[in-house]
Structure 1
């Protein structure tokens, strides 16, 4: 006779999960040690090639030939190509020699490999003399956060530390915009467009909305003229997105768009949604640094200013801490003014490590409204659909603390603090000088 299955939350279940988590932590520590050792070994191979290929009267190609030879030798041992090994040797030298403090922090367990990659990817675009200063600040920012959460912030930090303005560098990069066709296999190819980030984000968002509209209305269209087509339409969102992309470029409208009664069908009328955090100094032109395309990457200030001024598409947020913000309401529905404030405060899903932009999340009552939770700023936070469902249907619990900090408690009782994102605007006391008039 078999014993009854232990239900999730029972002592045996929690003990099993605790054991698995402890094993994972141990494996992660050992893997980190091995990965660091491998990086140092590959970096040593690169230094050896440089030393052997750099005698006083050596030809320019000698170093490359030595490096190729060593890479081929290592490739045989690793069972991979010499080209791959040569690339990894370059990456290892950049990490070990260029960002030693980040490697030391990884070795000490303060950060993980993903953090190191994010630091190197962002910092390598700076002049070498700024790398040490950059990684010092970057390591502090990485501690306690997941790599994907800090990647965008590290990119902006590097852009702001760069001796040339982001606007100047973006203008040069934008001049290289293009569309490339990369032939693939089995009759497929990749069509790659290199565009300003905000335009690419807008295109992808619009395609996503249109694809979801088609997928979500299959049942409604089942009784239409093309019922047989709809009934057999089992395409995924990715497949529909690709088909709509082709329809728009080739025909100007999605194939399923009903344009008989209007000049622009319902799918064509869908507009992209893009969320940008624009510091006040950048908005006024005092600062020319990058702006944060929430959930993605930095964009140039000129584009951000243009978007902020296009009031028929974008809503500008002005927060007066005394009179300008709706802080509570008696209804369940969150008013638009409060929702805009929460989007600016949260920026993204507030589950630890999640970077889904707030405009694609749901506003959740931390203390359930049905159980007496109020619709007020101190009880509201953005959660993506995945983590909203997890909060509702699993043993994960959350409290909203002062300052917008969320405290998540796992089924094992582990505490994860999700600090409020860095404010888009910060105020500092102005310096006073002799003879200045007294403040009111």
Structure 2
């Protein structure tokens, strides 16, 4: 239990926190050294299996058998399954052989293990001969941000370097779309739908927004005579989403919609929202690169082009292919120009490491309005509810520098710089012609 002397902000509390931070710095360095040593040892295990089987006429089968045996031996020491150990060996070999510069950057402390795994995962779509080039471009990006934040940029980079266009690969993958059911125990099953990312994200967003509307209006329904229904409705968001999905698929309307006999009811009016960054050249029939579904993953150009064609229920943002300047923005609920600019500039929550899309965040006055902070773009940014609350109720502080750069200061006085996401936002001159929507 925290003593009164160790309340947040007190000298005792700050001294304890400083000690913890110092301990974690040393721990992070020690952990990285151990992790790197493990990777090298596992890669050596793979090399041993290959060397042992080198002279065998059935080389491939022999190598696999040796690798299985080595994996089982090491798995016994680490108390994991041999299949798990073999996956670790394969991953380590990929890092050592295909990404030597990444391993060097990790050893130098420029990046962490999460960056390495993100680079390997994003580069897995590339043929081995392109992975070195990909790594050289990926490392500087990783040095500037956290693994979860650099993942979309690395995925987009890999798609750009791939010899086959994203559109070709997406078309082949989309042919495998399906719905399947996986029976579970206690009368439950999983219903799994494999479909294009933009569609899946839109479905999940609409279910979430409808679910939030149901949960937020429980009090209102109780006040209007639905107390009996509300008193038994203690469902979580996950449960509400599942029930809404069943209602919409089986009956066409949500069961709790007061105007469920018409599609214009309160829940029926809710539409999906996603946030997509579309390079201008993608609208000009260039299908090689992918577009960025903010907060998720790349999507194919054809889908992005269709969204940009005028479907008003989607958020669209079109960028210049060279400068990255914003050429056009639009949204389902047309916001004021300032909010549109901020959504285009921020793209996501601006707390270090957070990837919550801007359309699901709150606009924060960096200097509180009550303390004289102006409602101006140089004093505003998007923060998700978690980090907005943390800024308000803890000792974390933020100030905005030029160009939308944020400088966060932790309770210990540590500075974390949060650069504006790329592409950088700028309004282009009127003489730049826009592709037709």
When the two structures are superposed, what TM-score results if normalisation uses the length of structure 2?
0.89
1:190 correspondence with 2:162? no
Residues 267-319 of structure 1: CA deviation (Å, up to 9, x unaligned):
23211001101112222335641111111111111111111122432465689
CA contact (8 A) 2:342 2:382 kept: yes
CA contact (8 A) 1:346 1:382 kept: yes
Structure 1 runs of 4+ with >4 Å offset: 223-226, 315-320, 424-428
Q: In structure 2, do the counterparts of structure 1 residues 84 and 3 end up closer, same or farther at CA, with 3 Å as the change threshold?
A: closer
CA RMSD in angstroms comes to 2.5
**Which residue in the other structure is 1:28 paired with?**
28
Out of 16-25 and 221-230, give the one that drifted further: 221-230
**Which residue in the other structure is 2:257 paired with?**
257
Q: Secondary structure at the match of 2:6?
A: coil
**Which residue in the other structure is 2:85 paired with?**
85
CA contact (8 A) 2:366 2:380 kept: yes
The correspondence of residues 352-391 of structure 1 with structure 2, limited to 5 A, is: 352-391=352-391
1:95 correspondence with 2:102? no
Unaligned runs of 5+ in 2: 321-325, 328-333, 429-437
Matched residues in 1 for 2:28 and 2:128: separation? Answer: 31
Unaligned runs of 5+ in 1: 326-333, 429-440
CA contact (8 A) 2:352 2:416 kept: yes
Q: How many equivalent pairs are there?
A: 417
Q: In structure 2, do the counterparts of structure 1 residues 48 and 398 end up closer, same or farther at CA, with 3 Å as the change threshold?
A: same
Q: Secondary structure at the match of 1:416?
A: strand
1:43 correspondence with 2:43? yes
Matched residues in 1 for 2:275 and 2:336: separation? Answer: 15
Q: Secondary structure at the match of 2:363?
A: strand
Matched residues in 2 for 1:285 and 1:308: separation? Answer: 13
CA contact (8 A) 1:346 1:420 kept: yes
**Which residue in the other structure is 2:7 paired with?**
7
CA contact (8 A) 1:283 1:305 kept: yes
**Which residue in the other structure is 2:75 paired with?**
75
CA contact (8 A) 1:366 1:379 kept: yes
**Which residue in the other structure is 1:129 paired with?**
129
1:106 correspondence with 2:106? yes
1:217 correspondence with 2:220? no
**Which residue in the other structure is 1:398 paired with?**
398
Matched residues in 2 for 1:68 and 1:265: separation? Answer: 60
Q: In structure 2, do the counterparts of structure 1 residues 171 and 4 end up closer, same or farther at CA, with 3 Å as the change threshold?
A: closer
CA contact (8 A) 1:360 1:384 kept: yes
**Which residue in the other structure is 2:331 paired with?**
none
Q: Secondary structure at the match of 2:5?
A: coil
Q: In structure 2, do the counterparts of structure 1 residues 425 and 127 end up closer, same or farther at CA, with 3 Å as the change threshold?
A: farther
When the two structures are superposed, what TM-score results if normalisation uses the length of structure 1?
0.89
1:281 correspondence with 2:284? no
Matched residues in 2 for 1:59 and 1:394: separation? Answer: 61
Superposed displacement of residue 59, structure 1:
5.7
Q: In structure 2, do the counterparts of structure 1 residues 96 and 186 end up closer, same or farther at CA, with 3 Å as the change threshold?
A: farther
The correspondence of residues 388-427 of structure 1 with structure 2, limited to 5 A, is: 388-423=388-423
Superposed displacement of residue 78, structure 1:
1.6
**Which residue in the other structure is 1:116 paired with?**
116
